[in-house]
Amino acid sequence: MTLLDGKKTSEAIQNEIAAEVAAIKAKGGKIPHLAAVLVGNDGGSVTYVTNKVATCERIGFGSSLIRYEDTVTEEELLNKIKELNEDEEVDGFIVQLPLPKHIDTEKVIEAIDPKKDVDGFHPTNVGRMVAGLPAYLPATPAGILQLLQRYEIDTKGKHCVVVGRSNIVGTPMSILMAKGGYPGNATVTLCHRNTVDLAYHTRQADIIIVAVGQPGLITADMVKEGAVVIDVGTTRVPDASRKSGFRLRGDVDFDNVAEKCSYITPVPGGVGPLTIAMLMTNTLRASKKEVYG
Ligand code: GUN
């Protein structure tokens, strides 16, 4: 069994980007700039956004963090998005989700200029991805593709079972794994909350990708010997022995599943660290006008 080391892979990608930024700087080119909009004080969101901004600094990107109280109006937020769309210094920006209930998330996402949508959430980028056109890919699926590629895991003709159909992970993952090229060319089954006998499906899988947020959902009896298991779950569970008071648990019962696998991601330290690296990749692509010209 080989552990898929997301931390190491993320660092490798970040180092590659940092080297490219240094070369851009040396030539007097435009330094990539990422802006992040954060609404409210949700612990997870604050941590993610703080990490994103710190990563920008480390790899030589410019960054801005725009914070609002969770009482911000939709109109204020939409005005800020318009400003960021027009700001030539800003190559790409993200609005951290989830947003408070009084704000229409879809409306906010659709207000972002697709050219600056480095999260890849805008319907234009989603549609372009489905059509196989150049697009910003969402960070988590893109990070999983990087893991498969950098560990040279065979995907052609394999049966990939994706569990969870979210817009951010499961749905795009299922599309990307079924596409031609590498990693891809897999036969894909997309399972979700209405799937009858989930274990029947996962037991057929050469590759299982699970993103539902249900700790320990995938148990050893659900996994075929030699399978590749990718765990996207990161649920905070109370843990009095930790200073933070919680620890992260994945959707896979790692202790019992790992020994059956050829490859498996740990939680934490698997898929999680890749998402930041892929956001940085998208921001670099935005600054180089690689996707939309
Ligand atoms: N919330 C959870 N994941 C993400 C992400 O990738 N981007 C944004 N903007 N919000 C998120």
Which CATH number covers residue 243? 3.40.50.720
**Residue whose CA is closest, atom 8 of ligand 1?**
96
Same domain, 154 and 191: yes
Determine the residue of 65, 109, 112, 168 to mutate for testing ligand 1's pocket, defined as the one with the most ligand atoms within 8 A of the Cβ atom. Answer: 168
Answer yes or no: 119 catalytic. Answer: yes
* Range(s) of the domain holding residue 163: 139-272
Cα distances (angstroms) measured from residue 191 to each of 6, 29, 54: 25, 46, 36
Q: How far is the CA of 26 from the centre of ligand 1 (A)?
A: 32
Q: Does 16 map to a domain?
A: no
Q: Does 236 map to a domain?
A: yes
Predicted pLDDT of residue 259: 98
d(CA 57, CA 151): 28
| Catalytic option among 5, 14, 91, 96 | 96
Q: Does 248 map to a domain?
A: yes
Q: Does 20 map to a domain?
A: no
Same domain, 196 and 89: no
Taking the chain (293 residues) in runs of 10, the rounded mean pLDDT of each run is: 98 98 98 98 95 98 98 98 98 98 98 98 98 98 98 98 98 98 98 98 99 98 99 96 96 98 98 98 98 94
Q: How many domains does the chain have?
A: 2
Residue 38 sits at φ, ψ, to 5 deg, of -125, 125
Say if residues 270 and 283 touch (Cβ distance below 8 Å): no
Same domain, 95 and 206: no
Same domain, 112 and 148: no
Say if residues 223 and 254 touch (Cβ distance below 8 Å): no
Secondary structure element (H or E) that encloses residue 95, with its range: strand 92-95
Answer yes or no: 96 catalytic. Answer: yes
Q: Does 150 map to a domain?
A: yes
Predicted pLDDT of residue 153: 99
| Catalytic option among 5, 119, 231, 253 | 119
Same domain, 33 and 111: yes
Which CATH number covers residue 60? 3.40.50.10860
Q: Does 279 map to a domain?
A: no
Say if residues 224 and 186 touch (Cβ distance below 8 Å): no
Q: How far is the CA of 97 from the centre of ligand 1 (A)?
A: 5
Predicted pLDDT of residue 293: 87
Say if residues 122 and 109 touch (Cβ distance below 8 Å): yes
Tell me which residues have their CB closer than 6 angstroms to ligand 1: 94-97, 119, 139, 168, 275
Cα distances (angstroms) measured from residue 128 to each of 95, 115, 149, 234: 20, 12, 22, 28
Atom of ligand 1 nearest to the CA of 95: 9
Say if residues 193 and 187 touch (Cβ distance below 8 Å): no
DSSP symbol at 137? P
DSSP symbol at 136? P
Q: What is the pLDDT of residues 171-198, one digit of tens each?
A: 999 999 999 999 999 999 999 999 999 9
Answer yes or no: 179 catalytic. Answer: no
Same domain, 162 and 62: no
d(CA 253, CA 289): 42
Say if residues 159 and 112 touch (Cβ distance below 8 Å): no
State the DSSP string of 145-184: HHHHHHTT---TT-EEEEE---TTTHHHHHHHHHSSSSS-
Q: Does 133 map to a domain?
A: no
Structural tokens at position 72: 């911000």
Same domain, 157 and 265: yes
Same domain, 60 and 157: no
d(CA 28, CA 39): 35
- Number of other residues whose CB lies within 10 A of the CB of residue 101: 8
Q: Does 285 map to a domain?
A: no
Instruction: Indicate whether this model's pTM tops 0.75.
Output: yes
Residues constituting the chain = 293
